[in-house]
Each structure stands twice: as structure tokens, then as C-alpha cells.
Amino acid sequence: MYRSHHCGELNAEHIGNIVTLSGWVQKIRNKGKMIWVDLRDRYGITQLIFEEGITPVDAFSMAKNTGREFVIQATGEVIEREAKNPNMATGDIEIKVSALKVLNEASLPPFTIEDQTDGGEEIRMKFRYLDLRRNPLKEKLVLRHKLAQEVRRYLDDQGFLEIETPYLIKSTPEGARDFIVPSRMNEGQFYALPQSPQTFKQLLMVSGYDRYFQIVKCFRDEDLRADRQPEFTQIDCEMAFVEQEDVLNNFEGMAKHLFHKIKNIVFDFEFPRMPYQEAMRLYGSDKPDIRFGMQFVELKAETDKKEFVVFNSAEYVGGICAEGCANYSRKELDELTKFVQRPQVGAKGLVYVKYNEDGSLKSSVDKFYNEADLKEWAEKMDAKPGDLLLILAGETNATRNALNVLRLEMGDRLGLRNPESFAPLWVVDFPLLEWDEDSRRFHAMHHPFTSPKKEDIHLLESEPGKVRANAYDMVINGVEIGGGSIRIHDSQLQKLMFKTLGFTDEQAQSQFGFLIDAFKYGAPPHGGIALGFDRLTAMFAGIDSIRDVIAFPKNNSGRDMMIDSPSAVDQTQLDELFLSSTVKK
Amino acid sequence: MYRSHHCGELNAEHIGNIVTLSGWVQKIRNKGKMIWVDLRDRYGITQLIFEEGITPVDAFSMAKNTGREFVIQATGEVIEREAKNPNMATGDIEIKVSALKVLNEASLPPFTIEDQTDGGEEIRMKFRYLDLRRNPLKEKLVLRHKLAQEVRRYLDDQGFLEIETPYLIKSTPEGARDFIVPSRMNEGQFYALPQSPQTFKQLLMVSGYDRYFQIVKCFRDEDLRADRQPEFTQIDCEMAFVEQEDVLNNFEGMAKHLFHKIKNIVFDFEFPRMPYQEAMRLYGSDKPDIRFGMQFVELKAETDKKEFVVFNSAEYVGGICAEGCANYSRKELDELTKFVQRPQVGAKGLVYVKYNEDGSLKSSVDKFYNEADLKEWAEKMDAKPGDLLLILAGETNATRNALNVLRLEMGDRLGLRNPESFAPLWVVDFPLLEWDEDSRRFHAMHHPFTSPKKEDIHLLESEPGKVRANAYDMVINGVEIGGGSIRIHDSQLQKLMFKTLGFTDEQAQSQFGFLIDAFKYGAPPHGGIALGFDRLTAMFAGIDSIRDVIAFPKNNSGRDMMIDSPSAVDQTQLDELFLSSTVKK
């Protein structure tokens, strides 16, 4: 038996007990005649005490010679501490060690195993197994575990079946971002790793498994943005005999369950539902952060009255009202202007109007607009004296997008985006299609099985861009947690959809053949949702990056620094797979 | 709303209610003026009734025109059935339909969707989504779901953390059966899919996560035996600061939990623990089926007394006693002889001794042994009048193996292997190493990190073949459900182990480098187990094949018949991966 207790559970009640603990040496304080060792395991830290002349000689000398991160086993009596530490669960006691054993020595770790470490990103990725010893990472993996269990508990209670779908599936001609896997047993042939189990979950609906879920890895071989991973985890769900409302209610219930169980936050209201068009109009984003207001106000009609060519030539003029910021300095305003002019935001300039505490108005476009004009804008924007109006102009989508970035920045500056406050939201009525300039045709915004709204079907041939879909996203604090749709189950409508997307029958058949075939044998109405589990966990952890909620993540080049993968393979291995490399040596 | 109730829940209590059901048409009986439709969903079957003149005309005519597997929605009153069906949960009632809607038509399925179908294996694999509609498959997937939830519930309660390990890992030179995955972003480099998360779970122990589990897919690109799959699911677990007993107790607890929750079977005893050597001696198998006795009895000493060259020249002579089989006919004995002479069993012949009811003994080797000799054997084998002794001879391992096959056959013939009776067992003390004739060296029986028994370490250099490992298998009803070991955490011992296995330092470093490195920073004592989840589910389902507990399995060539995968990929896709095919067109 290596231990009688964990390092996190002993307190005043155990005083007098003889206990055995095992763990890692977190810290040693050697005062000559007295040695204190902080012993750490997954559950906490317990202080060990060694005293010359009292502690057995061998244990004392062993204690002297242990180093950080040694694995040791200590037996002794739980005694009351003289100097109690109220910040530690075990701070009332310490262990008067009577026997010590070094279970394993340890080389000096390349960075300190502390909450605030001295190790840089790269070295911590390479020694991930050491980084994982630190509390901040451990807490996130424990959180992830709890979330996974609660997700399953909720869905199981709701009658969902967890069904595993295959990882070795089929590559499709359009699946340019599929990872492919050569088969040794099938010469010249390849599997593909799933980008999502979409097709299989729809097949399960055809099979009659009317409530399916899975917490499942998905794969995408694409250029990685800062916070993408080539493998990521999805809470994947599908339901049959449901309408959009049924799906939203069920997964709103799941989100509420998680907030309750994990954060002890009770949402006693329905999540707001915002049509996509409204989200774009008021927030310039399909994932608005509604922890704060600062909604967009359009000023085109008001600004057109005068001869300011920048506004007059703009498709869109709109602004936000930053409360209490009328006192912003020239420097601060210049900073904001530069902020929106960065290439990734792309605004040409920034117009401000200060609504001073004394009721006067001062703006960067005083030359073109008088105080009555500015007053009119301020009123339309519900501004009060002391507020600052920030106005952008230009092409509608681009300007809304820039204004969104500016709004979030102002939210940050004003402390309106507290990571411990949560504002969930459904964004609904997404467009069915989006126009692609490169290929000069419409693409499915979600996927080609997403059903259009009944009342918009008549527009499919005449004005495809206006058709709204039964598609929805769950958004929390400006983060897209998940999205889904009601699928098309009517084969005539599906044909029309493929036609609209410019698929020939042959193309549709080659890409989705077995799903189309399956639908011929009695497909129920169905729909579903997929939630990003990494993203969800990061949101619960109050952090932006998903990397810290993944035990063994890859870097921005898709590389696992710890195991040094991907890597070259032997030629014999390629030979067996009927492949040769075209890389020039 | 597509339905107010499921098709499995209505009974006499609902009589008089107006309900709406949705589902698939299982069966139609059209008697002209009356039509009955069996409506099926995941939860059961409910009978719908349509009556000419009473049912609205459109609903009646629609009912007439539906076919098998149409998806329909029916609304009507729950009424009492005239002819009740006590074999159906809903057998007391039927629905007097007042409105009917066809949600989707269905082509005639290629086989009947019945418990006993007319479809052959191949067509059912191709149309797996239809086969999955059948009860026998559905029940198995529901069972699998329940098992997964209970496994997690138990392990979560025991403080285990579910931690996801990566799927895109690294191929090792020895990993000849790895599936490899070319990386588009890393020219000429490859990931590999894990054959198991072994290394990662050991790293997690180094990281201090002292109780880890995962229900996880594993991959092996090997020639498939009848009941192997290229991707399979494992319940993967590891614990730190534990000895073998801790692991066994914990997972024996899990097995008991599952039997209790799923089958309502309570095991109020400790699972027996049988050393490997004893299992081989008594059952000729490292996974003995102990639902029945019929243990091997060795007869070498007894048989050597006479001049029967077959026995005298044999390394091993041993037999089993088949109770009450003394009356076996010549034909039956010939059958058994042929059975053991099949190439896959490989016995040269079979010697029998009939211990007749009248106390006389009759054998196929009467020429060499007299009745006293036979009596001596019978006594040693605890035989009673009426029993049949079946004896094989030859090289020890091969003969034990053949005798094992014969024993299981006799168990089947005598009805001693009831799939609803369960006999769990731990097989322990596996050999650490096994001799490989081809490479003329020892291989790790488990893997190179398995720890030898302390008391056997001194044999590692002198008699490696005799060293026993802290390795164990959970065996139920003759099926290996899982296995594991305590790992080596001492680097000196690990070095000795690598040396014994004939690894140079460089080879060890190249294959296991990051794990060896990790161990330098303080590895705790640890060990674990991996259980085959497909196999476990099949055992609970009382079936032999794992294919029926997997939603979308592959066939013996590793092919998914439904989606027709693996398949060829476009040259452009290979180009992006810096690969070309060497297959001759």
C-alpha cells in the first residue's frame, strides 16, 4: 500500500493519526536542524516535517537529499501546525515523519512546477507532461472531465443513446481537407478521418435511433489559425421527429444543466433568440457578446443631410455609444483610430462625437455638421452627457465587421466582459446559402442537407440569397459554442437544393450517394446540433485559448512538440502501402 | 410537434386519450373495410386501426396506400383492443386513427425488417442503416450505450478522470501495424493512429493524474481474423501509487457494478485468481472457461508403465473426463477424433476410455493397457461409472492446446456453457517474456514496460523465460475481457529489461524516447488495464461476434460495405500530400 490518504484531505480531525502519503516534492525548506517538505499529489499539498534528533536518522538524511519533483512516500503522525496556513486545505496540520522512502528520483525540471511558472510556451509544450503537473492546467482537465460526465448524464436522462460512429470513413472529392489513411490490405485505397460524423448521425436517424449523441474526435487538415487544432472534440447530437424548437429547448436545457452543475449558476429565463439579420444589424456579428449593450445605431439618414462626402458616399454609416467616455484624450482617440485602421479590421477612419458633461458636443467632423446635427445623432443613439459616440462608414458588411471589433474593444476597456458572467443566446434564421465570389455560385452556409424555412422555399429559384434556413447557433459571451440545423428529409426539396448549389445529379450521387440512397427507405424529419467541446470547456474555464483545455495539444503547425510528430516513416512502411514520397531529398 | 407519445408506452391507462404517434410502418393488414397498421419506432410498436365509414376518407385511403417502412404520423383516440396481445407492451390498446400524414415514402427494403430477417450477411452490411432498424441490433446498441454510461459512472465515482489522448500520434519503427496519416502541412511527414493510448496514459501518471480512464478508439492495420476490426474500442485505465491488488480490486469492482446494473446479477464473492501456469496446466488456455470443471488430468506417469509407443514417446499425456458420456457411439467417437485432428487443432489422434455403468472399462488402447491400468487412470481422473475419458498425447503446449479445444467442445455438447451464466476469473502471473523462434530472441509478452515480479528479477539474466510478470487478464466465460500490468518505474530495471529484449540504447531511445525521458522527472509507481469494450458488450449480449455490437462495422477485409470505403483518392489529393501511388494501373 503506497498511501493511506491523499495530500489534500488531512485536517485537524486527523491529528494523532498515523498516515502514509505518496507524492512529489513541491518545495523543501532546510533550516539545518529542521526540514519542511511540501508533498504534492493530484489532490493537494501536505507539509512534512523532519527534526534532527527526533526524526529517525535515515529519514532525516534522506529528506536532506531529496530534490524538487522527487517521488517520495512518507509515514508519520498528523500533528497540529504551530503556524497555521488558512489558505491551504491542509494548513492546520503537518506530518511528523517517522519513515521516508524515495520511490523515484527526479532530474531538475526545465521550468518550475508552480502556478506562475518561469517556463516559456515552447519548452512547456515539449515537456507537456511536466506542465500538466501545474495547478492551472490540472484544474482545466478536471473541469473538462466534469463537463463530459455532466453532458452525458443530461443526455442519457433525456433518452439519448451514445453511439460510436467510425473513424475510418471515406474521402469525398470535395473533402479537400480530409486527412486520408492508406490501407495496407486494400491496395491503392484510402480511408479518410471524419471532419464530423454528420452523415453517420443522419443515417442513424434513418435507422430509427431518434436521439443520438457522441463526444467524438473530429479531424481537419487545414492551415491552422491561432486557435485551431487538427483534431478537436465535438458533442455531436441528432434527433428525429423534431422541429427546430425541440432541438433548441433540449440543448438549452443541457447548457442550463451544465451551468448549474459546474458553476452553480441558475438561468431561470429562456435564452434570447436573435435572428441572424438582427445580430448583424445590431452587433455586426453572428456571435454577438450580449453581456453588454452598446448596440449599433445606423445614421445614414441623419448624416446624408450635409456635404460630408465620406459619409454620403458610404453604403453604411453607423456607430456605438461608449458610456462615460466623453473625456477620452486625443491620444486615446488616436489609439482607437489606429486600432480600427489595422489591416485585420480595415476601417478607413474613425469619427467621434464627444457629448460633454456640460451638454456641448464636439466632433471630428465639426467642419461638416453643426451642434444640432450632432445632437440629433446623439439622441438617436440614446447618448447622455458624458458619453462618446464612435462612428464608422463604408461598405455595409465590412463596416459592421469593423464596428463589431471596435465594440468588443470598448467592452473590454469598460470592463463589460467579465469572464465569470455568462450571457447565452440563440442566433437563428441563418441564411441558407452564401455567395462565393471565386466560384461565382452559391454555397451551403451549413451543409447541403440544411432545410430552408418553409415560408422561404419559393425564393430558392428566384432569390436564393434571401432564403433563410432552419439553422441555429448557440452563442455564449460572443463565442460560438455550437450550431446545427433541421435537415431536409424530402427528396424533391433535396434535389432542388442540389440544383441551387450547382451540383449535377452525378456529383451529388458521388459525394452523398449512400445518404441519398438511405433516404429512399423512409427518412424521418430530423435535425441536430454539434457543440465544440474544447471551446465549451475553455468558456467554462474563463479562458480564450482551447489549447489549455486539451491534455496533449498540437502547435500552430499541427505538430506535437512532445512526441515530435508528425515525422518521417521508413520506406518499407510506404512500400507496404503502395506509396512513394515525391519530396525531393 | 410530431408526436405526443412513443410507440412503446401506451397502455390501458391511456384509453380515451387523443394521441399523436410518428414512426415506420412495420406491417399492414388490409381486410377491405378494416385496415390495421403496426407503427414502429425505437421504443416499440403500436397498432393503428382504420375503419371504412368511420375513419375520415382521406386517412383511410392514405392508409390503404402506405407501404412497409413508410414514415407516417397518426393522430387518434386510444381505444381498448378487442383481441388483446399479452406479448406486446402496448397489446391492450390500439389507436382509432382520425388523421394520418405520410411524412416520407419508402422504397421496398431489400430485406425484411424483422427479428428474423430474410437478408443475407452481405446485403445487410451494405444496407446497414436498414439492418439497424431490426430489434436484435437495436437492443445491442442500447446495451452498449448503457454499459458505457455505467462504466463512466463507476470510474467517476472512484475518482478516475476521463482524459482524452491524441489520435494523431507518431509512428515508431516497430509499429509495422500502425495506420499512418500523411500531413499536408508537414511535407513528407506522417502521423500514426494509436494502437492504444499506452504511452500517453503512462505520461499522465508522470503528470500526477493518478486515476485516468477513457473509452477510446484504437487502430490496427493487420490481417483481420474472423472477429477483429481495424478500429476497435477500449476502456483504457491507469492508476498511480498502486500495486497489482489495487488494480484488480478496482476493476473487479467495476465488473461487479456492470453485472449488477445491467444484468441484475450480484457476485458476492471475490473473483478467483489463477496463475497462468495453473491455467495452462488445468485448462490448456490462458483464458479458461470455468463455468464448468472438466480439468485436465496428466497421465504421463500412469501411461509410461506399458509399451504404448505413442504415449511413451510423448512429452505430455493428459485427458479430460466427460461426465455421463460412456454411452457415446462409435460414430460419435469418430466425430470427436476427426474434430481434434482438424489442422487448426492438430492432434494426431484421440484415445478414449469408456467407464461403463456396470463398472467395466473399455478403451481404444485395450491392446496395450489392461483393465487395472484403465481403472488407475479413471481413479486419477475422478471418473464415475458412466463417464468417458478422452486422452491426448504429444508435445506439451500443442497437446494442451488441443485438449482445450476438445474440452470446450465437450462443454458445448453437454450444455455446460450457458451464455446467461457468468464465471469471472483473474488470470495472474503471466510470463514476462516469450521466446520467438523466428527472431531467436525474447519478446515482451505484454509490452516492454511490464514489471517483473520482485522475487523473479534475479532470473532476468540467467533464465528470462521463467520470470513472471505483474500482469493480469480478466477472463469471463473463456473470453479475455481485458488485461494489464504494473509498469516498471525504476530506470535501472527498465534498462535491464531493454537489454533482455535485445534493444540497444539507441533503439530504446528512438522507440520510447519521450517516455524514457519523462520517467527521469519523477515517475510514480503505476499500473493499469485495458478492457475490450466491443468484446465486453458482446459478452453481455450473449453473442460471440463483436460485429453486431458495433453500429457501423467493417468486414473481414477491413471494408465498410455501406459507404464503400476504403477507396481511391484523386491524384490532386496525393499531390498535396507529396505522395504518389506505386500501384500498377
pLDDT at A175: 58
End residue of a domain, out of B104, B125, B149: B104
Same domain, A149 and A237: yes
Please indicate whether, in this complex, the C-beta atoms of A104 and B490 are within 8 angstroms of each other. Answer: yes
Same domain, B370 and B409: yes
On whether any CB of chain B is under 8 Å from the CB of A67, the answer is no
ipTM of the complex: 0.95
What are the E-state strand segments in A276-422? 297-298, 316-322, 351-355, 361-363, 388-394
On whether any CB of chain B is under 8 Å from the CB of A29, the answer is no
On whether any CB of chain A is under 8 Å from the CB of B171, the answer is yes
Same domain, A142 and A264: yes
Q: What is the mean pLDDT of residues A143-147?
A: 98
Q: Where are the alpha helices (DSSP H) in B225-317?
A: 244-263, 276-283, 300-303, 309-312
Pick from B167, B203, B579: which is nearest to A582 by CB?
Answer: B579
What are the E-state strand segments in B189-296? 190-192, 211-219, 231-240, 273-275
pLDDT in tens, A469-528: 999 999 999 999 999 999 999 888 988 898 888 888 888 887 787 888 999 999 999 999
Question: What is the torsional sign of CA A114, A120, A123, A124?
Answer: positive
If pLDDT is split at 50, 70 and 90, which confidence band does A174 have?
Answer: low
In a domain, A337, yes or no: yes
pLDDT at A585: 61
CATH number of the domain that residue B306 is part of: 3.30.1360.30
Same domain, B322 and B348: yes
> What distance in Å separates the CA atoms of residue B354 and residue B378, rounded to the nearest whole number?
9
Disruptive mutation site among A40, A126, A164, A511 for chain B (greatest number of B CBs within 10 Å) = A164
Same domain, B515 and B556: no
In a domain, B52, yes or no: yes
Pick from A104, A144, A185: which is nearest to B524 by CB?
Answer: A104
CATH number of the domain that residue B91 is part of: 2.40.50.140
Residue-range definition of the domain harbouring residue B334? 292-413
Amino acid at B341: Q
Same domain, B310 and B403: yes
- Residues of chain A with pLDDT > 70, as a percent, come to 99
Amino acid at B580: S
CATH number of the domain that residue A490 is part of: 3.30.930.10
Same domain, B26 and B66: yes
Note the pTM of the prediction, 2 decimals.
0.95
* Mean pLDDT, chain A, integer: 94
If pLDDT is split at 50, 70 and 90, which confidence band does A360 have?
Answer: very high
Same domain, A429 and A511: yes
Same domain, A23 and A93: yes
Angstrom distances, CA of residue B437 to CA of B271, B398, B440, B442:
35, 15, 5, 9
In a domain, B205, yes or no: yes
Pick from B24, B186, B199: which is nearest to A559 by CB?
Answer: B186
Segment 186-215 of chain A within 8 Å of chain B by CB: 186-193, 199-200, 203-204, 206-210
In a domain, B150, yes or no: yes
Q: Does B508 or A144 have the greater pLDDT score?
A: A144
Disruptive mutation site among B108, B129, B224 for chain A (greatest number of A CBs within 10 Å) = B129
Q: How many domains in chain A?
A: 4
The total of other beta-carbon atoms located within 10 Å of residue B502's CB is 12
Q: Which three cell numbers stand for residue B231?
A: 478500429
pLDDT at B358: 95
- Torsion, Cα A448 A453 A455 A457, to 10 degrees, reads 0
In a domain, B517, yes or no: yes
Partners of B230 on chain A (C-beta within 8 Å) are 168
pLDDT at A308: 95
Which residues of chain B are modeled with pLDDT < 70?
173-176, 226, 585
* Strands of B361-363's sheet in order across: B297-298, B316-322, B388-394, B351-355, B361-363
Kindly report the CA angle at A201 between A199 and A206, in degrees rounded to 5?
95
In a domain, A347, yes or no: yes
pLDDT at B9: 96
On whether any CB of chain B is under 8 Å from the CB of A494, the answer is no
Nearest CA in chain A to B200: A552
In a domain, B188, yes or no: yes
Q: Which three cell numbers stand for residue B271?
A: 473473483
On whether any CB of chain A is under 8 Å from the CB of B101, the answer is no
Q: Which residues have CB under 8 Å from A333's CB, separation 6+? A: A350, A352, A364
In a domain, B360, yes or no: yes
pLDDT at B585: 61
On whether any CB of chain A is under 8 Å from the CB of B133, the answer is yes
Distance of CA A3 to the CA centre of its chain: 38
- Residues of chain A with pLDDT > 90, as a percent, come to 84
Same domain, B516 and B541: no
Amino acid at B193: L
Angstrom distances, CA of residue B373 to CA of A383, B302, B303:
111, 8, 8
Output b/e per residue, B23-37; b: 16+ Cβ within 10 A. Answer: bbbbebeeeeeebeb
Same domain, A314 and A363: yes
Please indicate whether, in this complex, the C-beta atoms of A521 and B575 are within 8 angstroms of each other. Answer: no
Same domain, B148 and B257: yes
pLDDT in tens, A278-312: 999 999 999 999 999 999 999 999 999 899 999 99
